[in-house]
Structure 1
């Protein structure tokens, strides 16, 4: 069974009528309450050393995290100076709005209950009693996002219906669209780029992370370990893969896909990371894989950009052990960015060509090598990668030369570190 255009339009119209009434009641609520507080945590920037204090100026010259102006957010209580609009429906107050008693709720409930195609999409775990909860959540979410978008007061705008429409459309598409479009975003840890944007392919690029994404990704994906949380935040740019989607065939599809890093195209992400490592030799990695919804929305927090994340652990373990002040941040200049573009085009030309499979194998070994925390393991991976490259020296010569140079450099570095440790022990 599929949802027809007529069903979708009727559902939209009913939500528009109902959401308008809920919004009007919300404006009245704001006007009659001096303080509206709730339970939501909110990302607030961590300012250990205030930048405008001359006493701390030297730290901004010495500590990479501060030198490159990387924001690090913490989840704290919602800012007291702002209205927490979600608390109108789910806050501390005993007189919070009860959406179920507002005129129009029963009309929505009746229509969905009598339309099996819609009921199936909105019911959780075949529990028909969950529809009321779902409708309440959807309607309050629509109105809450609208209130944040206009910094609402008690005043009701004349174009209220038009203001609500895009939020209704995004909310309904999450349930009735068979495929949900996303951009995949991967913050690159421990490196910053000179260029704002580096185009790698038609739908692949590296871009500077906008402030709203920096802030929102904290709420979307937080580590329990303080060190790893700092490491995940240590990024100024992100890889963006455009044009992706997933099938919206089950109620839990979003959680199943977006929160599981195995569901993402790891081979494409790792190819890009390997090319960056090949050109620079830097110990970079990634700790998050994020899904940015295109035209739809599921859960959200206040006015933050809706984004859904999966934790990953693809940074060398040695970096995780470091205090945030010690985290190294490497600089990738425009010339290196051009080499990254050139080598990535070579990788793409080899993709799917079985005759050039040794290149793919060598890239995997390079990634493994860079993530190992034991010198002997690094040496083994580097040696295996070199062996695979030398078995096909005529294939993709430019990339092979760069990889050989990179792997040889790693082997020499490993040997030197091992020697120094040996001398230290003696």
Structure 2
């Protein structure tokens, strides 16, 4: 990534601030006029677990939510803004300060090439990029703080979260793998200095709900049949271009051997069937995934589908399998031995075990 001068970054922040302040006022007027603001479609509104004998439930909005809900919860506030003339919406080009912001981006290629695909620097591309970024800032601001009243502290917090994915030299993150169809007695099991098994907070379960883009209703139920996850800490991505983060959606980019070794140790010691459906990246140095909606954690990741087909056959209705504390030490010991293994023969045995159990 090219080094960006501090004064250039500061100027960008000030120009965006002007636009956001005006948009918050405009959206407040839009809301006061009782104009319809559609909900985010398929947006995870909550995750809860009222009964320890059941798996966590994630509730989402649907196509009718924007019409049937009377309040403004889970609305897509960026949908109020438009790129094209529309008498019911706010045209971005008419927002005070936007033309100055667009001219600034066009005249600074160092910044503009961070906001869109390389080679597409013409005015309309920059306009679309700014439209999306400003929309994300406004949507997150109102969703998190519950209103349109402007505060410089609130703006700076949201601005940094949303724009860091474009400008940070390195993106720091943990890799998290939800463990399907089994639970652990302990909330935290340390395997090494950087690897552990942790209980997932409900907010994490909610925020990961759409990672993997599973279309099947039953598959979407299966991915919620998890209370714990494998966590591998300390990863960084060199953020060289707009497209750098596309690697998060590539299954081959993840440490499959380490993940398989841990699952093999769980299966061997517990004798339980398990698997995983998602690779989840949990941001660490104050960035969120591009186009993150509402107040979600900004997680990103990829589809895995490393689980048995029988899981889709109403496995979530069966009695929960719980790994007791007295087995955890044995799982940790075996996991470390398998992770340290460099013998290709044993690697093959791990793969066969994971496929057959």
Q: Give CA deviations for 1:287-321 in whole Å, capped at 9, x if unaligned.
A: 1111122311212122222111311121123434x
Asked if structure 1 preserves the Cα contact closer than 8 Å seen for 2:39 and 2:61, the reply is no
Q: Give CA deviations for 1:26-81 in whole Å, capped at 9, x if unaligned.
A: 2232222254225633235799xx97xxxxxxxx7xxxxx7244324455244714
For residues 209 and 244 of structure 2, the distance between their equivalents in structure 1, rounded to whole angstroms, comes to 22
Unaligned 5+ runs, structure 2: none
Mapped pair 1:236 → 2:219: no
Matches within 5 A, 1:219-258: 219-254=210-245, 256-258=246-248
Asked if structure 2 preserves the Cα contact closer than 8 Å seen for 1:143 and 1:164, the reply is no
Change (3 A) 1:197 1:82: farther
Tell me which residue corresponds to 2:350: 366
Tell me which residue corresponds to 1:30: 31
Mapped pair 1:144 → 2:139: yes
For residue 340 of structure 1, the aligned residue among 315, 331, 336 is 331
Tell me which residue corresponds to 1:316: 308
Instruction: Indicate the SS of the match to 1:313.
Output: strand
Change (3 A) 1:125 1:40: farther
Tell me which residue corresponds to 1:285: 275
Tell me which residue corresponds to 1:134: 129
Q: Give CA deviations for 1:255-307 in whole Å, capped at 9, x if unaligned.
A: x2121111111122112112212221211110111112231121212222211
Asked if structure 2 preserves the Cα contact closer than 8 Å seen for 1:142 and 1:171, the reply is yes
Max Rg structure = 1
Unaligned 5+ runs, structure 1: 52-59, 61-65, 352-356, 373-377, 379-426
Higher relative contact order (CA 8 A, sep 6+): 2
For residue 95 of structure 1, the aligned residue among 83, 88, 91 is 88
For these two proteins, the number of residue pairs brought into alignment is: 344
Mapped pair 1:122 → 2:115: yes
For residues 178 and 318 of structure 1, the distance between their equivalents in structure 2, rounded to whole angstroms, comes to 44
Q: Give CA deviations for 1:177-234 in whole Å, capped at 9, x if unaligned.
A: 1221222111001111111111222222111111112122222333122332222221
The TM-score, its normalising length taken from structure 1, stands at 0.73
Tell me which residue corresponds to 1:402: none
Asked if structure 2 preserves the Cα contact closer than 8 Å seen for 1:40 and 1:301, the reply is no
Q: Give CA deviations for 1:130-182 in whole Å, capped at 9, x if unaligned.
A: 100110111111111110112116xx25xx11111011112221111122122
Q: RMSD of the TM alignment (CA)?
A: 2.7
For residues 39 and 232 of structure 1, the distance between their equivalents in structure 2, rounded to whole angstroms, comes to 21
Q: Give CA deviations for 1:332-356 in whole Å, capped at 9, x if unaligned.
A: 11111222223334445x35xxxxx
Give the structure with the higher percent helix. Answer: 1
For residues 273 and 296 of structure 2, the distance between their equivalents in structure 1, rounded to whole angstroms, comes to 31
- Displacement of 1:368 after TM fit? 2.5
